[in-house]
Chains A and B, each alone.
Chain A
Amino acid sequence: MDSNELTRLKERIAALEEEITSQQQMFLMSQEYLKKVKDELEESKKSLERANKYLMDGINYSTRIQRAIFQTESFAREIFPNSFIYFKPKDKLSGDVYWFFEKKGLRYAAVVDCTGHGVPGAMLVMVAISLLKEAAAEDSGFNSPSEILTFMAKAFHRYTHTESAELVIHDSFEAILISYEAESKLLRCCAMRNPLLLVKPGQVRRFDGNRFALSDIAKGHVQLTEHHITIEPGEVAYLFTDGVQDQFGGPLGRKLGIKRLSHFLEKLPPFDNFETKSAFSEFFDSWKGNQKQTDDVLLVGIQLL
């Protein structure tokens, strides 16, 4: 081996050594970078967990407050002894609410569906409850379901439409409110959107709701109308929010719909607070199957006579 060859060989060995050193550096650098990324991800995960816990604690406590403010089923039975409430919020907090009260010899039941669900729905529910309580006061001056819902629509519109255009919210509510006078067997019903179903075995009477925009009601452009109905023996009034009929399910993954709901209700045996509620619960769960719950679900059943 001559000296030139030896020099070339030494240069080649030096280049290979440098290449190996560079490879090791690449490896260590990549390893260090991946560790850094992993540490950052772990820190982000912890941070997300902390934020999630903070939010969930708030939501859980808000749910306790909401449940405490909601009337109980037993309270509802003080007003309507033969009744049940099927209440299944989509999330923990509900955008649906029911409310029962008595006033000047009439018994009232309301089912209100505020737009949205979860936290925003729950905030609007507080507004709805406050308005219902105000309307329910003996001296409120509102003496019919349509007067009460008109009052609520006006107040709701006023609360949600401030002078600042940026702060205007486009949320609304749908509701159904009935009043019942036992002596005359007269039921008055005013509904915004969803119908009232009066059901007894083999028979369904459907009373459609008004389909006006809340702003039109609030501004007095339209007037809510009422149904005045004489109740037949054995009839059960069903008040519900659209989470019931809009639930997807069944063999073809379709919406439940009011027609299918009516068919189910008319086939039920005579009303019983617990049995009827349990039957509806089974029916609804079976319809929903593995589908996600679409919305808050609220259905109130009241046997009036």
Chain B
Amino acid sequence: MTSVEKTLIDLGKEYKLLHQTPEANVYVTGSSMICELLVPYVTIEKFQELFSKLSTIVAEYKIDKFIFDKRSLRTFHQPSMEWYFTVWKEEMYKLGLNKHRKILPVGQDWFAEAVHAGREFIREKYPDCIAFKLDMQYVDSIEEGLEK
């Protein structure tokens, strides 16, 4: 049982584990989708496969909140992040997904700085990107992500 599953059980939430790979587990509870990454790095190929699957879940389950648990991550691929921001989020917004909650690795200050830098570069390159107008919050736990 992963920590996300344990949290969902402790909270008494009904959930489904809809997708499981060595890189990630994807759960749905109500209209929220939780993607729990399990590895320190997700290759470009696996990242695209994963997000392609997430797209189908968003459409099928009418997901309006996405909790992205990146606590295991230590490295990210900036071009993939750019695509995630400017293409995937915009497409998902059209399907009704407008709330994004993110959990960053604990104690990895430089990772957080790099995420911030990456976001700012994307913002500079795509000032009208819809992703920056969505309800996006950093949270510390799955519970907080579900609450907020």
Residues of A near any B CB (own CB < 8 A):
15, 18-19, 22-23, 25-27, 29-30, 32-34
| Interface residue? B78 (CB, 8 A) | yes
**How many B residues are at the interface, by size bracket?**
10 to 19
* A22 touches which of B78, B113, B116 (Cβ 8 Å): B78
Residues of B near any A CB (own CB < 8 A):
40-41, 43-44, 75-78, 110, 113-114, 116-118, 120-121
Q: Which 9 A-B pairs have the closest CB atoms?
A: A33-B117, A19-B41, A26-B114, A22-B77, A30-B114, A30-B117, A23-B75, A22-B75, A15-B43
A-B contact pairs, 23 of them (CB 8 A): A15-B41, A15-B43, A18-B41, A18-B44, A18-B77, A19-B41, A19-B75, A22-B41, A22-B75, A22-B76, A22-B78, A23-B75, A25-B77, A26-B76, A26-B78, A26-B118, A27-B114, A29-B121, A30-B113, A30-B114, A32-B117, A33-B116, A34-B117
* B78 touches which of A18, A25, A34 (Cβ 8 Å): A25
Min distance, Cβ A37 to any Cβ of chain B, angstroms: 9
A18 touches B43 (CB 8 A): yes
Closest to A20 in B: B75
A33 touches B78 (CB 8 A): no
Q: Complex: how many Å from CA A215 to CA B76?
A: 69
Q: Contacts A18-B43, A18-B44, A19-B41 hold; do A26 and B75 have CB atoms under 8 A apart?
A: yes
Min distance, Cβ B114 to any Cβ of chain A, angstroms: 4
B121 touches A33 (CB 8 A): yes
Q: Which chain A residues border B113 with CB–CB below 8 Å?
A: 30, 34
- The main secondary structure of chain B at its interface with chain A is helix
- The main secondary structure of chain A at its interface with chain B is helix
Q: Which chain B residues border A25 with CB–CB below 8 Å?
A: 77-78
Closest to A26 in B: B114
Closest to A25 in B: B78
Among A18, A19, A34, chain B packs the most CB atoms within 10 A around the CB of A19
Closest to B80 in A: A22
Q: Complex: how many Å from CA A18 to CA B75?
A: 10
Q: Which chain A residues border B121 with CB–CB below 8 Å?
A: 29, 33
Min distance, Cβ B73 to any Cβ of chain A, angstroms: 11
Q: Which chain B residues border A30 with CB–CB below 8 Å?
A: 110, 113-114, 117
Min distance, Cβ A35 to any Cβ of chain B, angstroms: 10
B44 touches A33 (CB 8 A): no
Closest to A29 in B: B117
Q: Complex: how many Å from CA A18 to CA B76?
A: 10
Q: Complex: how many Å from CA A33 to CA B77?
A: 16
Q: Which chain B residues border A23 with CB–CB below 8 Å?
A: 75
Closest to A16 in B: B41
